[in-house]
Amino acid sequence: MHRPAGTAKLVAALQAPSCVVRAKVPEPPVFEGLRESGDIVKAPIVQVLRDDWRTVLRGIGLRIAETAGYAVAVTDPIS
């Protein structure tokens, strides 16, 4: 896929200030406490899939229902 000229420069121009802002914003106190106690999970996605897989499936199902509803609503008037 061909990107318009200057896209990389635009991305860099938008990313640079966001990195500076992110570096200056302090971490929330709750996260700092977790970091100090060592309770930060190494692979949070694994923990979510292991502990809350039903919620993940509900989210996937709702997203599919939303997309299907939109497709029906858009294509029905056309046909």
Query: Per-residue pLDDT tens for 4-49?
Result: 777 888 888 899 999 999 999 998 998 888 888 888 888 899 999 9
> Do the beta carbons of residue 48 and residue 56 sit within 8 Å?
yes
**Model-level pTM?**
0.52
Q: Where are the domains of the chain?
A: 7-78
Query: Helix axis angle, 44-51 relative to 53-78, nearest 10°?
Result: 90
Residue-level pLDDT at 79: 65
Q: What is the pLDDT of residues 44-57, one digit of tens each?
A: 999 999 999 999 99
